[in-house]
Structure formats: structure tokens, C-alpha cells
A and B are shown apart, each in its own frame.
Chain A
């Protein structure tokens, strides 16, 4: 029983990471049709900025520096690299691919290829007993952060004018443009949101895995892609549900079925969802 609880909570912690990466990816894709391979780079930039800043300030504040760095990177990438290629989807993907290759190499040259120990706030070091299981406290930090982001995103999309534009733009971009609204401002906005969520995920991944390396972003990105496709592109709740599904499946099967089996199961789930609902869970 305690094993099951531990696996479930750890799985939810992983789900939190997947959701933070996937929600931005999904919004960017849903609105701007950009498959953003550089999203993993935003994550790594956030993680390394936090790692760097933690020398001068408490970790909690350093995470904010990381998020700011992630937002700045994302906005710069959108304005300088993505915007000139507006409506040329393939070229945009190619640019983000080049950026992810060059960006990881750049991080490697600055911080070295080896994993660096990541600073952790002292209050996540302990364990919390839940139903007889001893759960490391950092799992709850991850889950809490993802819940907060989920609620904030949902409120933003539901109650603000820009949220309305983003939702309408995902639904039908031409129509929003025809109404005289400059959708491209919303593109920058979703990139900024995605960059913030990804950078937060980077810091949390550093706390969760206890180290940070230039490849961290890339390895999380692939599962985030899977979450986005299963959840339905452009849907934040879809990403949330898919993230939980994918992470729990992965945790449990990896534990009971041998290491690696869970990852394979996740891809099998993707195949099943595609055959059954090609547009993802959110879109019937």
C-alpha cells in the first residue's frame, strides 16, 4: 500500500513537470502553429539561471530569476527568430530545431557538459508521512506549483481580454484577425507564458532530479510532446489530464514492469489515443 502511495505521489510530481512544459508548448502550438523544439532550451535556461543566482540569494528568489530569464529568452526568440517567419510553419520548426541544437551546445560551453548539483530549499529536504508511506517533500512542491500554474492559466484564459483572444485564436485565427485584433501580440504573450512555465519546470526539475545538465530540457521535451498530442493541441485542461495519465502510467509500469517498460507503454498509449481519437482527448 505504502509503495502504491509513494509511486502515485511521485508520479503526480512528474506529471507536474510534464504539465508545466506541455501547457506552454500546447498553447504556442494551438495559437501560432509553431512546434517549438526550443522549448527545452527555455527550460534549461531557467534551470541554469536559477543555479547561477542561488549563489547570491535564497533559492526561492533564485527561482524567480530563472523564470525571468526563461520569459526573456522566450520573448526574444519569438520577436527576433519566429516572427519574421510568420505563417511559414516548416521554417519556424527548422529555426527552433537549429536553436535547440545551438542552444544546448552554448550551455555546454558555458556550464560544461557534466551535471551540476542543484540548490534545494531546506524545507523540501524532509519526508512527509502519508498513509504509512514516507513521501519526499519536494514532490508536494512540484504538485503545488503545477496546480497554481494551472489555476492561474485557467483564470487568465477564462476571465481576461487577452485570454479571450488566445482562446479565440486557437479556435480560428483568421476570424480573430478579421475582427481587427492583432493576433501576433498574443503570440508574444503565449511565448512569454510558455517560457515562464518551462523555466519554472526547469528549476523544479533541478530540485526533483537534484542536478541540472544541458540535456535536461531535451529529455523532458519528448514526453511533453507526447502529453501535448494525447491531450489535444491548444487545450490546457487536456494537457493537465494527459500529463497525469502519462506520468502515472510511466511510474507504475517502470516500477512493476522493469525500467524502460513504462516509457514504452507511454508511447503505446499515444498510438492507441491516435487510432481512437486523432485530435487528442480534449477534442471529440
Chain B
């Protein structure tokens, strides 16, 4: 029964556009975006929650997937070719940069990934050869398949985003249950011990880093199809920080927590931007609200939404115990 529950949920999500309430293109587009970020956050959790690597440069691979897809399509490549090349580039860059960054551990690794990703942000902002469009971003000018163009076909974009999320979750599930996945969780818990057992933590970490980079690049491709273009925000360190916030809110290392956190965060971010502008002072800033919620979550709900069934009753019981 439990085995089929995720597939049942995926089916419900797939059938969602047939419900009246969700069939408006605006709603479907927002939901598609939520699904893309759900997949992206889940992919980031492969590094953070499952391998214990705190990367601050994940946005780089997302941006590579997004920008290369747009640029290649605008230069006359068909979508499948452009997507494939974009993802391959993501893999190659992740392998090269990961090989250097993983030479240091812990917080130093975080700083180095941050620095590498900054190069991506600088290149995107400088607009080399008019390719990335600088501040303006780049939009897909040609080559969109007919099935993905127009308001009527928003539902296809939604299904595409859902397919991406399912692919990410299936890959993560497979990896988690494979011997390599067990090594990854062992590295997260105690890398030195893995070394003593005769395995090379470096190789497994690099594998995890490259796989996460590939999933992020794929996410970038899906993102530009949903949104219609890429903007410099995709390459910024803020994007990685929000991914981290999503994962921590959802529950790092859990099966569905990061995806749930990603979807919920994206949804709230957009809804707050729409409705909160009338609120007084800092409450009108979505990032202020979400940042404060995030800080509170780190203190009071470790394990995020995935463990709220354990942490919340604990908090509710506590005052009662003090009275006794």
C-alpha cells in the first residue's frame, strides 16, 4: 500500500488540470513553477541532506541548463539537442569544478562553491557576445515545439514540470537504495570512517556532486520552457540560498520533504508578492517573512515539515510538563 502511495499522489497531480479550479493558465503556470522548484530542491538535497555537502553554488548548474537551452535554441538547434547539450555541459562543469572544490571539506567547500558560482553570475551579467542578455535576460525566440506554445498548451508545460519532479524523485530513490547511496549517507554521518573502511569519500562525493549538477541542469531546461526565458537571478547566490531554505523547511534527507518545501516556498513567495504589498513595513517583503520563518524553523522545527509530526507534539507537550 505504502509503495503505491507516491504514484497515486503523482496521478492526482497529473489529473489536477482537469479540475475546474486549477484549469486557469495562470494557476497552472504557478503550479508548474512550484513543481520545477520542488524537483530542484529535491536534487539539491542529494548534496545537502543525503551526502552532507553544503554547496552554495548550485545555482550555477541550474543557470547553465537554463541559459544554454535558450541560447542553443535561438541559434537554430532543436529542443532535444539543445536540452541534451545543456545538460551535458552541466555535467562537465560539475565534474571539473567539483573535482577542485571537493579537495577541501566542510565550510571551506561551501565558500569555494560560492566563489565558482559567482563566476557564472558575473558571466551572465556581462553578456558576452550578446548571448545572455545581461540584466534583461534571454528569451526563447524560436524553436519552441507547437505542443508547448500558447495559453491552451499551458497544461503540457505543467505535465512537463511534473515529469521532471517525478524523474528527480525516482533517481534519488534509486540512488538512495543502491550501495553507492548507502556510502553517501555514511559519508554524511562520518566521512573519516568511510575512508578507514577503504572507500574513497572523494569519489563518492564527486559522483553525488555531478549527479546533482545534472539534475539541476535538467531543471534549468524545464524552467526556461515553463517561463519562456532565463533571467540573471537564476545564476545568483540568492537562488542557492533559497534552495537551501526550501530544503531545510521541508526536511533535509527525507524522501519527500525537500520537494514539499520547494513547492510550498515557491507558492508562498509568489502569493506573498501578490498580496502582501498592502501590509505595513517589512511584512510587505516576502523575503523578510520567509527568512524569519526559516530562522524560527531552524530553532523550533529541526527536520522541517517532514518531521513536524514528531517535533510539534513535543513542543505542545512541553508546557504541560512544566506545570506538573
CA distance A31 to B300 in the complex (A): 26
Whether A99 and B118, one on each chain, are in contact in the complex, defined by CB atoms closer than 8 angstroms, is no
Least CB distance from A142 to B in Å reads: 23
Q: Is the CB of A229 within 8 A of B111?
A: yes
**B295 and A98 contacting across the interface, CB-CB below 8 Å:** yes
Selected from A89, A99, A222, A278, the residue in CB contact (under 8 A) with B103 is A278
Contact B118 A263 (CB under 8 A): yes
Whether A222 pairs with B114 at a CB distance below 8 angstroms is: yes
What chain A residues lie within 8 Å of B125 (beta carbons)? 260
Find the A residue at minimum CB distance from B105.
A278
Q: Is A33 an interface residue (CB 8 A)?
A: yes
A274 B100 Cβ-Cβ under 8 A: yes
Asked if A226 CB lies within 8 Å of chain B CBs, one says: yes
Complexed CA–CA distance, A89 and B107 (Å)? 9
Give chain B residues whose Cβ lies under 8 Å from the Cβ of A152.
none
In the docked arrangement, what's the CA distance between A91 and B248, Å?
A: 10
* Across-interface contacts of B126 in A (CB, < 8 A): 259-260
A102 at the interface (CB under 8 A from B): yes
Chain B CB within 8 A of A275 CB: yes
* Chain B contacts with A in 112-126, Cβ cutoff 8 A: 112, 114-116, 118-119, 122-123, 125-126
B288 adjacent to A97 (CB under 8 Å): no
Assess whether A81 is interfacial by the CB under 8 Å rule. yes
CB-CB nearest in chain A for B125: A260
Does residue A271 face the partner (Cβ distance < 8 Å to B)? yes
Interface-side segment among A103-111, A170-178, A181-189: A103-111
* B202 shortest CB reach to chain A, Å: 12
With A233-B108, A278-B104 already in contact, the answer to whether A264 and B122 are too (CB < 8 A) is: yes
Task: List A contacts of B101 (CB < 8 A).
Answer: 274
Tell me whether A35 is interfacial, beta carbon within 8 Å: yes
CB distance from A41 to the nearest CB of B (A): 11
Q: Any chain B CB within 8 A of the CB of A84?
A: yes
A35 B290 Cβ-Cβ under 8 A: no
- Per-residue CB contact flags for chain A residues 202-227 toward chain B (1 = under 8 Å, else 0) read 00000000000000001000100110
A275 CA to B112 CA in the complex, in Å?
12
Given A225-B114, A229-B111, the answer on whether A84 and B299 have CB atoms closer than 8 Å is yes
Q: Mark A95-129, 1 if CB is under 8 A from B, else 0.
A: 10111111111101110000000000000000000
Q: Which of A37, A95, A101, A105 has a CB less than 8 Å from the CB of B298?
A: A95
Q: How far is the CA of A108 from the CA of B285 in the complex (A)?
A: 8
Q: List chain A residues, Cβ under 8 A from B103.
A: 274-275, 278
How far is it, in angstroms, between the C-alpha of A100 and the C-alpha of B292 when the chains are bound?
10
Main SS of chain A's interface residues?
A: helix
Pair B292/A102 contact, Cβ less than 8 Å:
yes
* Closest residue on chain B to residue A25 by CB atoms: B111
**Across the two chains, which residue of chain A brings its CB closest to B97?**
A271
Known contacts A94-B248, A95-B298: does B123 contact A260 (CB below 8 Å)? yes
Are the C-beta atoms of B241 and A97 separated by less than 8 Å?
Answer: yes
Chain B neighbourhood of A29, CB < 8 A: 107
Are the C-beta atoms of B110 and A93 separated by less than 8 Å? yes
**Complex Cα distance A264/B119, Å?**
6
* A64–B245 alpha-carbon span in the complex (Å): 35
* Distance in angstroms between the alpha carbons of A222 and B284 in the assembled complex: 27
Decide yes or no: A228 and B111 within 8 Å by CB, A94-B244, A99-B295, A110-B282 being known contacts.
Answer: yes
Q: Which residue of B lies closest to A215 (CB)?
A: B238
Residue B171 CB within 8 A of the other chain:
no
A268: nearest chain-B partner, CB-CB:
B119
* Contact in complex: B241, A101 (CB < 8 Å): yes
Q: Are A33 and B119 in contact (CB under 8 A)?
A: no
CB-CB < 8 A to B29: which residues of A? none
Residue among B115, B284, B290, B299 making CB contact with A101, cutoff 8 Å: B290
Q: Which residues of A contact B116 (CB under 8 A)?
A: 267, 271
- Distance to closest chain A CB from B59 (angstroms): 13
For A109, what are the chain B residues with a Cβ–Cβ distance below 8 Å? 281-282, 284-285, 288
When distances are taken between beta carbons in the complex, the residues of chain A under 8 Å from B107 are 29, 33, 35, 89, 93
Is A270 on the interface with B (CB-CB < 8 A)? yes
B291 adjacent to chain A (CB < 8 Å): yes
**Are A81's CB and B112's CB within 8 A?**
no
Bound CA–CA A274/B112 (angstroms)? 9
Q: Are A35 and B100 in contact (CB under 8 A)?
A: no
Contact, CB under 8 Å: B111 / A102: no
Q: Please, which residues of chain B bring their CB within 8 A of the CB of A33?
A: 107
A48 CB → nearest B CB, Å: 14
Extra contacts, 16 of them, besides A29-B107, A229-B112 (Cβ < 8 A), are A81-B295, A91-B302, A94-B298, A97-B244, A98-B298, A101-B291, A102-B292, A105-B285, A105-B287, A105-B288, A218-B237, A222-B115, A225-B115, A226-B115, A267-B119, A274-B103
Give me 5 A-to-B residue pairs in the complex whose CB atoms sit less than 8 angstroms apart, sorted by A's number: A33-B107, A93-B107, A102-B287, A222-B118, A271-B116
- Which 4 residue pairs of A and B lie closest in terms of their CB atoms, listed nearest first? A102-B291, A105-B288, A105-B285, A105-B287
